[in-house]
Chains A and B, each alone.
Chain A
């Protein structure tokens, strides 16, 4: 019966690369997207939109440098506004890349080979967007290096008990490891690009960044060792970075922030939003460049399932927050939940529940997971929902704390929105530059998924070919 077919389909038989591809065709199609193929029109539209928004960002940041953070809606009691919301949102998005590249590698999940490069690039750009916000939020951004412990004549030393300082280390470590992981993984493919490039300067460009890779057995041996070591180093980062971010809130005693579930709940939320962003980007790029041979329906199905599972953990977090705010017996904790659900920001809270919990339940249905437009819309909904979640956590907790006399409201200004949308533009622009300039799928790792050639000898083997 077809029931059995379906069960079997869940497991290996369905290939991760569509039938008919060879070592040669994999290399040709992926490197060709950069070197020979005509740039699709969608790419121009995307990069133009991204570039325009980068200009918005530039204007917003320039004005911020001139006038200071007073141009934003922040004040007492809400001192952490959009900047921190955006920071947490972006840094969370990065986590899917690290999970895909490091943890799924160690778990021998070979389907990752088609999306790891793309997801890692996404991580890198998301972290860049994230890192920008706390620095802009400093008030005197040009003095950001004071965050680091260094012997200076004024004896300024960071407060090591503050999670904000842990953040500095967590995020900078994350950015460094993510970059190294991405770049090391690129080197063999950069050599392929160098060898296939026709134009002299293009050849030189890839030649320089390929670091002299020749594909010798020794190169491969060292590469494999280095890559596994980096994967091992990156694995704890998947959990630690967002745990530290959650400490930014949880070590304080404000109701709605001080909750022990925060670390695992933040990590699950990070992976949730990360997979949503990977899907948001992969679905259009896959269609634009016709990559259905390599990023198959099975890949989309798996990613949608990870999204569903992590979304359920996030939902568990919401349930725990709500239950324990009541069970605490503390009037302040209880009021926090009442305020969230029925206070001035209640619509944001209910939107968040709708986006993060209610609508994603559609992913239980296989047909939805395999329907690209539906999946794309759901991924965007989750992106929005996760942003709203951070908004609810940051703003509703701060705006009404223990003393009613110190309550207040927070309204974002045009500059808040400009900086936020500007950062999205920066992300899109970087992402599409990456797609245009570098092989967006790892060619040599994808070739590993093909069966051994049966002697028809159509060109490339592994290595620098």
Chain B
């Protein structure tokens, strides 16, 4: 079943807006690059990480879907595939980060970092950093490519062997994803403060990626729920499952963030606690409090309610709210590395988000075209889509 013309036109429309936003963002960024290059790279890194995280979360969720394959995950599979296929674009958008490296990463200047950080030069040095980045993007792109290709091929031939191949790739793929995402988090974010370290940081990043991606996927599903193949299977039960997943990731975020805080606070070691000292300075402290309330308590309470999970109208608002808080959390994570003296938001922050986000959205929307929004010919899809006969009452 080919997507209808209506649907294509709708996608074209969205794509135009996205490109327009990107164009505006790029112009502003250019201006910013001339006016204050240092500040531009800081804002750009934030925007780059925000959208790369979502793409990576999509990659993780697609592989999780192939491993578990519930009805709910079929409903978001194609959107997540589009999301992960933006990874080649993100590789390209990594170039400005490379250009701004010496402004962004203190370890680029051996004289500027302390003795402890100096012991890490074997890992934190430019050639190795770049080599790792190339490796990450190569692996991610290859996995995203194969996952898409086999799934699309199945749309044509409906062969069960494809499902089996997808599973066989996804199981080791998840391991590779978690490990590469962990080290990418160390490279791109943690090493902004080269003296600091925290062993839960990578796992927290992975959780954040999946959480952010899930929010975007819920928004997309809500957007396109009326389109043909999706409209046939969508039900409150699917939203309920997605809401529960969202709740799980929100709890995981809180659990891991709190663990990191508690252990660091209790240890109170100079090389660790400074990370929090910066982030609990006036200004940033208000952001931290906002995170506790709006990134955890409010969505947690709302998502406990059955009604807010079963109603797409409520669920998409919660997802949108969490997505905004993802951005706030990432800002709080990244920016104090540059602005320890207090909260600093610049007009370049939204400009960079607009530029990167516009390109990201335009590219992702393009990837939605050309395939039905459901993997209809996956043999397992038939099993989950039909009312299960094996399950008992209730």
The chain A residues found within 8 Å of chain B, CB to CB, are 1, 3-4, 6-8, 10-13, 15-16, 108, 110, 161, 239, 243, 247, 250-253, 258-264, 312, 316, 319-321, 323-324, 326-330, 364, 448-450
Q: How far is the CB of B154 from chain A (nearest CB, A)?
A: 12
A13 to B382, CA, bound (A): 13
User: Chain B's nearest CB lies how many Å from the CB of A377?
Assistant: 23
Query: Among A10, A250, A323, A329, which residue has the most Cβ atoms of chain B within 10 A?
Result: A329
Cross-chain contact B392 with A448 (CB below 8 angstroms): yes
Q: Flag the segment in B83-91, B264-272, B316-324 that touches A.
A: B264-272
User: By the criterion CB–CB under 8 Å, are B263 and A260 in contact?
Assistant: yes
Q: Which residues of B in the span 170-194 have a Cβ within 8 Å of any Cβ on A?
A: 171, 175, 178-179, 182, 186
Tell me if B160 and A320 are in contact (CB < 8 A).
Answer: no
- Mind listing 16 A-B residue pairs with CB under 8 Å? A7-B164, A12-B391, A15-B390, A243-B259, A250-B266, A258-B263, A259-B199, A260-B200, A260-B264, A264-B200, A264-B259, A320-B199, A329-B118, A329-B119, A329-B271, A330-B116
Does B226 make an interface contact (CB < 8 A)?
Answer: no
Nearest Cβ on chain B to A85's Cβ, whole angstroms: 21
Query: Interface of B with A (CB < 8 Å)?
Result: 116-120, 123, 160-161, 163-164, 171, 175, 178-179, 182, 186, 195, 197-203, 255-256, 259-260, 262-264, 266-267, 269, 271, 379-380, 383-384, 388-393
Assess A110 versus B197: contact at CB under 8 Å? Given A3-B161, A6-B164, A243-B259. no
- Closest beta carbon of chain B to A328's beta carbon, Å: 5
The answer to whether A4 touches B379, judged by C-beta atoms less than 8 angstroms apart, is yes
Which A residues touch B202, using CB under 8 A?
Answer: 320
Q: Contact: B391 with A110, CB < 8 Å?
A: yes
Q: Give Cα distance in the complex from A10 to B161, angstroms.
A: 14
A-side contacts of B379, CB under 8 Å = 4, 7-8
A260 to B390, CA, bound (A): 43
Residues in A with CB closer than 8 Å to B391 are 12, 108, 110
Is B263's CB under 8 angstroms from A250's CB?
yes
- Bound Cα distance from A302 to B259, whole angstroms: 30
Interchain CB contact under 8 A, A261 and B175? no
Cβ contact of B255, chosen from A259, A263, A330, cutoff 8 A: A263
Q: Which residues of A contact B120 (CB under 8 A)?
A: 327, 329
Question: Which residues on the A side are within 8 Å of B380 (C-beta)?
Answer: 7, 10-11
- B186 near A327: Cβ-Cβ < 8 Å: yes
Query: How distant is A82 from chain B, measured CB to nearest CB, in Å?
Result: 25
A321 touches B199 (CB 8 A): yes
Please, which residues of chain B bring their CB within 8 A of the CB of A328?
116, 197, 271
Q: Which residues of the partner chain B approach A364 to less than 8 Å between Cβ atoms?
A: 171
Most A CB atoms within 10 A — which of B117, B119, B200?
B200
Q: How far is the CA of A26 from the CA of B5 in the complex (A)?
A: 57
Docked Cα-Cα span, A15 to B388, in Å, equals 13
Pairwise interchain contact A251-B266, C-beta atoms closer than 8 A: yes
Chain A residues near B388: list those with CB within 8 A: 12
Q: Nearest 4 A-B pairs (CB), nearest first?
A: A12-B390, A251-B266, A261-B199, A260-B200
- CB nearest to A258 among chain B residues: B267
How many Å lie between the Cα of A264 and that of B263 in the bound state?
13
Q: Are A251 and B262 in contact (CB under 8 A)?
A: yes
Most buried by B among A6, A15, A161, A250: A250
The total of interchain contacts (Cβ-Cβ below 8 angstroms) comes to 112
Q: What would 7 more interface pairs be, CB under 8 Å, given A7-B163, A259-B199?
A: A11-B383, A243-B255, A251-B267, A260-B199, A263-B200, A327-B186, A329-B117
Give the Cβ gap from A142 to chain B, nearest Cβ, in Å.
31
Please name all residues of chain A whose beta carbon is closer than 8 Å to the beta carbon of B203 when the two chains form the complex: 261, 264, 316, 320
A449 close to B255 (CB less than 8 A): no
A448 contacts which chain B residues (CB < 8 A)?
Answer: 392-393
Q: Most chain-A CB neighbours within 10 Å: which of B182, B264, B271, B390? A: B390
Assuming A8-B379, A11-B383, A329-B116, is B201 touching A110 (CB within 8 A)?
no
Contact A324 B262 (CB under 8 A): no
User: A156 CB to closest chain B CB, in angstroms?
Assistant: 23
In the assembled complex, the Cα of A12 lies from the Cα of B256 at a distance in Å of: 34
Q: Is the CB of A253 within 8 A of B269?
A: yes
B389 x A12 contact (CB < 8 A): yes
Are A13 and B256 closer than 8 Å at their CB atoms?
no
Closest beta carbon of chain B to A17's beta carbon, Å: 11
CA distance A311 to B260 in the complex (A): 22
Check B263–A251 contact: CB distance below 8 A: yes
Task: Tell me how far the C-beta of B391 lies from the nearest C-beta in chain A, rounded to whole angstroms.
Answer: 6
Specify the chain B residue showing the minimal Cβ separation from A316. B178
Q: Which residues of B contact A161 (CB under 8 A)?
A: 266
Instruction: State how many angstroms separate the Cβ of A153 from the closest Cβ of chain B.
Output: 32
Find the B residue at minimum CB distance from A240. Answer: B255
Task: Give B103 Cβ to nearest chain A Cβ, in Å.
Answer: 23
| Set of chain B residues within 8 Å of A253, measured between Cβ atoms | 267, 269
Interchain CA distance A266-B380 in the complex, whole Å? 34
B263 touches A262 (CB 8 A): yes
| Contact between chains at A329 and B383 (CB < 8 Å) | no
Separation of A320 and B186 alpha carbons in the complex (Å) = 11
Q: A329 to chain B: which residues have CB within 8 Å?
A: 116-120, 195, 197, 271
**Cα distance, A116 to B316, chains bound together (Å):** 36
Distance in Å: Cβ of B99 to nearest Cβ of chain A: 26
A86 to B117, alpha carbons, bound, how many Å? 38
Please give the distance in Å from A416's CB to the nearest CB on chain B: 29
CB contacts (< 8 Å) of B255 on chain A: these are 239, 243, 263-264
Chain B residue contacts of A449, Cβ below 8 A: 392
Report Cα–Cα, A161/B267, bound state, in Å.
Answer: 12
Assembled-state Cα–Cα distance A251/B160 (Å): 50
Bound Cα distance A108, B271 (Å): 45
* B256, B263, B388 pick with most chain A CB within 10 angstroms: B263
In the assembled complex, the Cα of A250 lies from the Cα of B255 at a distance in Å of: 15
- A158 → chain B, closest Cβ, in Å? 17
Q: Which residue of B lies closest to A251 (CB)?
A: B266
Expressed in whole angstroms, the Cα–Cα distance for A197 and B269 within the complex equals 64
Distance in angstroms from A139 CB to nearest chain B CB is 25
Contact in complex: A13, B201 (CB < 8 Å): no
